[in-house]
Amino acid sequence: MNNMFDLHGKTALVTGSGRGLGFSYAKGLANAGARVILNGQNEDTLSAAVAQLKSEGFQVLGKRFDVSSEAQVSKVFEEFDRDGIHVDILINNAGIQYRKPMVELELEAWKKVIDVNLNSVFIVSRQAAKRMIEKGTGGKIINIGSLTSEAARATVSPYTAAKGGVKMLTKAMAAEWAQYNIQANAIGPGYILTDMNAALIENKDFDDWVKASNPTQRWGHPDELIGTAVYLSSSASNYINGQIIYVDGGWLSVL
Ligand code: GCO
């Protein structure tokens, strides 16, 4: 039986992959054989990430664009068309965080988080899906949710609303695109040791809360998400659609 987790011959676009979880996902898919396209807005961070994966012998290129800009996203996909690049796997990972109580939260900040964390998933996915449908060879879309796709935490309302929307948008994608052999699923990371969480990790009370709130009693590591990303990117998950898999140490499963 051939290796159902093999991604050789596939091209994967991972948004927000210059660092953090996005970079881990990209590294994992490259390791499974995919050609990976990294994305970010900071040229230096993106170039360093591309150079690192290239130095490890992987097929990789970088594309700097704002995932929340429909103009920039459609231009990038036109460039892919021109260059004969077909995206078989899309991981919508790009996301920002903005922590403030709702009564103090500026509307512009709310809109920015919704734009980057939710609207971008719609904007990028439909460009990819259009081409997957036209090519007729199916595809994989993996959206990155959160524990806040399921339960709320105070002071992160736009992030929570966006990630709840990501879970339901994933199901909407399954409803419309499963017939084209496109599998749209999501990953819900728990509290993971990333730069975005640096302020939380360094806060002793928060660190204690994370360890006391999940039965594994520790933060997750970025590389602990790779297996699920490869699984959902591979033919091993061809009959999985509209699901969200929580990689959270058991947090959401235990009172
Ligand atoms: C926060 C964190 C969370 C986690 C993750 C949990 O401020 O609570 O940033 O959003 O990063 O999303 O699943």
Model pTM?
A: 0.97
Residue 2, pLDDT above cutoff 80? no
> Could you write out the DSSP letters of every residue in 73-135?
HHHHHHHHHHTT---SEEEE---------GGG--HHHHHHHHIIIIIHHHHHHHHHHHHHHHH
Rounded to an integer, the average pLDDT of 89-114 is 98
Q: What is the pLDDT of residue 196?
A: 86
Which residue has its alpha carbon closest to ligand 1 atom 2? 197
Q: Is 3.40.50.450 the CATH number for 11-250?
A: no
In what helix (H) or strand (E) does residue 144 lie, and over which residues does it extend? Answer: strand 139-144
Residues 6+ apart with CB under 8 A from 77: 87, 127, 128, 131
Segment (H or E) for 179: none
pLDDT at 1: 58
Taking 80 as the threshold, does the pLDDT of residue 157 lie above it? Answer: yes
pLDDT at 146: 98
Q: How many CB atoms lie within 10 A of CB 43?
A: 11
Q: What is the pLDDT of residues 174-197, one digit of tens each?
A: 999 999 999 999 999 999 999 889
Nearest atom of ligand 1 to the alpha carbon of 97: 9
Query: How far, in whole angstroms, is CA 87 from its chain's centroid?
Result: 15
25 is catalytic: no
Centre a 10 Å sphere on the Cβ of residue 63 and count the other Cβ atoms it contains.
Answer: 18
Contact 29, 106 (CB under 8 A): no
pLDDT of residue 205: 97
Rounded mean pLDDT of 111-137? 98
Domain boundaries, the chain: 11-250
Can you tell me the mean pLDDT for 110-116? 98
pLDDT, position 87? 98
Residue type, 45: T
Can you give the C-alpha Rg of the chain in angstroms? 18
* pLDDT tens digits for range 23-52: 999 999 999 999 999 999 999 999 999 999
Residue matched to tokens 């734009």? 115
- Mean pLDDT (the chain) is 97
Helix (H) or strand (E) holding 64: strand 60-64
pLDDT of res. 155 = 98
Helix (H, G, I), strand (E, B) or coil at 24: helix
pLDDT higher than 70, residue 144:
yes
| Amino acid type, 33 | G
Average pLDDT, integer, range 198-214: 95
pLDDT at 20: 93
Q: What backbone phi and psi angles, to 5 degrees, belong to 4?
A: -70, -5
Q: How far is CA 145 from the centre of its chain?
A: 8
Mutation test residue for ligand 1: of 100, 118, 159, the one with most atoms within 8 Å of CB: 159
Distance CA 251, CA 212 (A): 10
Give ligand 1 pocket residues (Cβ under 6 A).
Answer: 97, 99, 146-148, 153, 156, 159, 189-191, 196-197, 200
**Considering only CA atoms, which of 235, 64, 220 is closest in space to residue 138?**
235
Three-state DSSP class for residue 193: coil
Per residue in 60-78, pLDDT (tens digit) is 999 999 999 999 999 999 9
222 Cβ neighbours under 8 A, 6+ residues apart: 20, 21, 23, 24, 192, 193, 194
